[in-house]
Amino acid sequence: MDIMAVVAAAVVVGLIGIIIGVLLGVASVKFKVEVDEREVAVREALPGNNCGGCGYPGCDGLAAAIAKGDAPVGSCPVGGAAVAAVIAGIMGVETGDLERKVAFVRCMGTCDKTTNQYEYYGIEDCLMATVVPGASPKACEYGCTGFGSCVKACAFDAIHVVDGVAVVDKEACVACTKCIAACPKHLIELVPYEAGYMVACSSHDKGKDVKGKCQAGCIGCTLCTKQCQDGAISVTDSLAAIDYTKCTNCGKCAAKCPAKIIQGPVPTALRLARE
């Protein structure tokens, strides 16, 4: 074996390594990306669920947006007020008045209250069911199909189908909005956690037609609006809606509603049903 050849090869390899090392060092300085220390701190404060409920591509995207000032410190629905307070301290700003919100399904058309048009034997998926005649096997085309696409979308076990209708446990809900995106009938909305009453119906049919399809449907009678002294509830296109910025949770509208579709949160009922 030619020792000189081995030595020469080793020297060449060593020199190449040194040159590559120098070039990498120069490149790391020249192309260095400045990282905002606040972004790193904000990312560490976020819970790491990467649920997308904030509207950004995961916690990394939200941390970058908050650090740049493009997103409020309270943008994380999972972390809530506690995480917002930590991030506010990092950013040196006030948290403001953060209102917790939860998802609510605007339907009470359970199996005993609604009628079916036919027996459905297709794929049990809400989106697939909407393309069948009548947009659902249930007589009410606006109602929950009950196939649980929202349940599959929820990573927090906060929504379940009970007696044919999806119901949210507000204690478990973090307002990530995944269930809202999954519902093809747009039955789910975010409401204030402190909301005492919600309209659990989405039908825009006239009163007579509603009664023929579901016993738990808004008939647009406007009796609820006449009870509210704060103008917090109105009826548009045969459907009642509550303005939560005006509602005082007095319950007068719920007491007067003949269809009893103005209801309060039902986390306890949900838990009992699941037990």
Strands (E) in 8-139, as ranges, are 101-105
86-117 per-position pLDDT tens digit: 888 888 887 776 788 899 999 999 888 988 88
Q: Which fold is adopted by the domain 101-274?
A: Alpha-Beta Plaits (3.30.70)
Length of the chain: 275
The reply to whether CATH 1.10.10.10 applies to domain 37-91 is: no
Strands (E) in the chain, as ranges, are 101-105, 159-162, 165-168, 188-192, 198-199, 233-236, 239-242, 262-263
Q: Per-residue pLDDT averaged across 14-42, rounded?
A: 78
121 pLDDT tier (thresholds 50, 70, 90): confident
Say what the pLDDT of residue 33 is: 60
One-letter amino acid at 65 equals A
- Cα 60 to Cα 35: distance, rounded to the nearest angstrom: 13
Whether residue 124 is predicted with pLDDT greater than 90 in this model: the reply is no
Whole-structure pTM value: 0.74
Say what the pLDDT of residue 35 is: 66
Report residue 222 as tokens. 């406007």
Say what the pLDDT of residue 269 is: 46
Q: What residues does CATH 1.10.15.40 cover in the chain?
A: 37-91
Q: What residues does CATH 3.30.70.20 cover in the chain?
A: 101-274
